Structures are given as C-alpha cells and as structure tokens.
Amino acid sequence: MPSPTRSISEPSKVLVFGAGNFGSCLADHLGDSDHDVYLWSRQGEVVESLNKTHRNPMYLKDHHFSTNITAVGPELPGETLINEMDVLLFAIPTQFLRENLEKLRLYLNKEKHPLLIFVNKGIEIGTHALTLEIITDTCGAGIAKAATFISGPSFAKESKICNLTCLLVVQRQPTSVSVTSFTDSEAQRAAILFHQPHFRCYTGSDPIGTELAGALKNVYAIAAGAADGLGFENNTRAMIITRGLAEMTRIGTAYGADPLTFLGLAGVGDLFMSCSSPTSRNYSVGFRLGKGESLDSIINNLGSVAEGVTTAKGVKMILDELGIKARIATTVIYEETIIPGKDIQAAVRELLELPSSKEIDLPSATGGPAKQLMKKLGLD
C-alpha cells in the first residue's frame, strides 16, 4: 500500500516556547515534518540533554526526539533569534504568558512579524482574560487579530492502561485539531505548517469559542475524575460529559462565542478525551480529590501543570460577570479549588439533589465580553 501523500509545506524556522509534554511533542512533530525547530526550555538540563542525546529528561523520557530540533535556553531567546523565525509557537501555561509576551514584544518586527501560534488552554487569574486579550494587551490589536490558536483532543502523552498502549501523538497515531484565527490566511498558514496524514488540521474563525472550550473542559475533567475517584461509573461520567458540554455551550454563548464551536474538536472532542483518560492531568487531580487527597498535596507532587485548577478561579469571575448558572462548574470551583478540604461527597450530594431543569437552556443575553474584546481588537 503506498504511503499517504504529505502536506505541501515549505520548510519553516519555528521557535517553540515551552519544553513540557505538549511543547516537546509539537516540536518533534514539526521537526519530523522537515521544519527547522528551536525548542526553548527554562531548565538548563533539558536544553543540554536534548542537544546531546535528543531526549527530554523531564517529559516523554523514552522518546528519541527529531534531530531537526535545537534546544535553546534557559535564558529567553533574544532579538537575533526571534527575527530569524517564521513561526513562534507558545506552549507555556496561561498564567506565565503575559510576562513572557511583555519581554518578547520588544523583539517583534512590526513590519513583518512571524506567525504566532498559541496552544495553551486557560484563563488568567485576577484578570479572567483569555489568551487573545493577553496578546492584545501586550503586543497590540494587530498582532492579536493575526494570532492563531490550536486546540482539540491531542494529548502529548498517554500511558499503558489494561496492557494496551494508548494513542500517542509522538507515535504518529491519527490526531485531529482545530486551528482558528480572526485572520483566515493565518489559520490556513498554521494548518499547512502542521497538517500531515497523522495530524489533521481543520480551520475555523472563532478563536474566542476555541479558547473558552479549551479552558472550560479542564474544569469538567476535574469533575469527571472526582466522580470516578468516588467510585461512580460510566453512567455518571456520561452525565458529566453531556451536562458539561451543555454548560460550556451556555457559558460560551453568553460570552459571545459561536455555540457550534463547542460541538467541534476544540469543544466536545477535547472534553470527551479529557474526561475519559486517566492520563489527563486535570482528570488525575479530580480522581485524587475523589479518593480523599488534599488539593495542596496533589499539586505539590503532580509533576506538571493542571490548568483546570487555576482556570476554575477565572471561570468563577466569568460566571459572576455573565450572571448565568453552571452547576457542575460551580461545584468544582467552590468545593475543589477555592475551599479544598470540604467534604467532596457532601458537594456531590448537593449537586445531585438540585431540582429538575431544562436540558437545553441557552441564555437570552449574549455577547457582552466578546463585544468588548472585539472592540479592543478594532473588529466591532
């Protein structure tokens, strides 16, 4: 059987910020797609190991990374390297994005800036800003309008479950993602950069919905993990996924996103995977909470960032601003994040004892925060 035809993409110079699971995975994918990749890590040992042995001692430890990757760091790359790049890809946690963009914006060529791609999923604590707004605040509306966002069911790392090896992006198992931007040409450019037979890209024009979906699903993954930790089974998980999707769509619609976005890869696709896999960091947090472990203990030895824990605090601010109800999200926010240690079984009991309500209940008032953001971007 002949090999599948590769995507047509000219080799590009790509700088990936963040050598965690997902950043390393995407760098490896792009390196194997014949792009010239630079991978920044703030840990000197990771830089040294990748350059000497093509292995990451912190993440995906058994994987031999593409020889097209050059690791850089621990200092943040400077103007010379930035201006050589065709693409800057950000795979660093949302809570650290603003400070890094404020440093890097000084090096961006205002006449011809590189393609900017963001794969982080979260809401900034304190400001409850989406990544799009952080980019606007730090780099300006012009750069934010051209920024692209990649999201979808695409774990960088899985493990062996029931003696079966789960899908691994680094093993080139088929994966699909959503690539969105307000600028269609930039979304297409990012899709062409990544697209391969095993890594399929679908473009869209609703980055606000894509961002919200990617952030919110982490909160519901905590809820799903907690339910499993408490001993509930498939019926309960299906309920959480389905009702979680309804809540995500309600929140997104009230915010001003396209409700159809939540039915795509960045919405239900990512939600289903994050709520179903024991190797999801957010699911793991919830599962351990369900088993009675304290949140502080979980965070201290998790070994990687679970965005849902910090995102939950931003979600509370968004719910308060929108004036809408999202019962599952609220339970996660109050009982598992803001007041850790309260009896989680009591929290679940309270949730299950709520009165019956409409299954589909989209808000009548929509679009406030999105309209403000669009005005900030000059797209109103």
Q: What is the 8-class DSSP label of residue 196?
A: B
Name beta bridge partners: 240.
none
Given the residues 157, 217, 291, 358, the one annotated as active site: 217
Domain ranges of the chain: 13-205, 209-362
CB 377 within 8 A of CB 265: no
Q: Give the pLDDT of residue 337.
A: 45
CA 99 to chain CA centroid, Å, is: 18
> Are 65 and 32 within 8 A, CB to CB?
no
Q: How high is the pLDDT of residue 26?
A: 93
Angle at 294 between CA 244 and CA 248, to 5 degrees: 10
DSSP 8-state code for residue 3: P
CATH annotation of 13-205: 3.40.50.720
> Within a 10 A sphere around the Cβ of 284, how many other Cβ atoms?
21
* Residuewise pLDDT in 10s, the chain (380 residues): 333 334 456 899 999 999 988 899 999 999 999 999 999 999 999 999 999 999 999 988 888 999 999 999 999 999 999 999 999 999 998 989 999 999 999 998 777 789 999 999 888 988 889 999 999 999 999 999 999 999 988 654 444 332 222 235 677 888 899 999 999 999 999 999 999 999 999 999 999 999 999 999 989 999 999 999 999 999 999 999 999 999 999 999 999 999 999 999 999 999 998 998 887 888 988 898 888 888 888 888 876 667 778 788 788 889 989 999 899 998 887 644 444 445 777 777 788 888 888 888 888 778 889 999 999 999 98
Find the largest Cα–Cα distance for the chain. Answer: 61
In sequence order, the 6+-apart residues with CB closer than 8 A to the CB of 195 are 7, 9, 201
| d(C-alpha 236, C-alpha 225), whole Å | 11
Per the annotation, the verdict on 217 as an active-site residue is yes
CB 162 within 8 A of CB 185: no
CB within 8 A of 115, min separation 6: which ones?
Answer: 86, 87, 88, 146, 148, 186, 189, 190, 193
Topology (CATH) of 209-362: N-(1-d-carboxylethyl)-l-norvaline Dehydrogenase; domain 2 (1.10.1040)
Please list the helix, strand and coil fractions of the chain in percent, rounded to the nearest 5, in that order.
50, 10, 35
Q: Containing H/E element for 164?
A: strand 164-165
CB 167 within 8 A of CB 92: no
How far apart, in whole angstroms, are the C-alpha atoms of residue 258 and residue 367? Answer: 10
- Beta-bridge partners for 176: 200
CA distance 14 to 27: 8
Q: In which residue are the tokens 């979906």 written?
A: 213
* Alpha-carbon dihedral angle through residues 231, 235, 241, 243, given to the nearest 10 degrees: -110
The two tokens of residue 253 are 């619609």
Q: Comparing C-alpha atoms, which of 122, 157, 152, 151 is closest to residue 278?
A: 157
Contacts by 65-68 with C-beta closer than 8 Å and gap 24+? 65/24, 65/27, 65/28, 65/31, 66/27, 66/28, 66/30, 66/31, 66/32, 66/37, 67/31, 68/30, 68/31, 68/32, 68/34, 68/35, 68/36, 68/37
Nearest CA among 284, 17, 279, 13 for reference residue 156: 279
| pLDDT for res 303 | 63
* CA atoms lying within 13 Å on the CB side of residue 249: 18
- H/E stretch holding 346 reads helix 344-352
Backbone angles phi, psi at 118, to 5 degrees: -125, 130
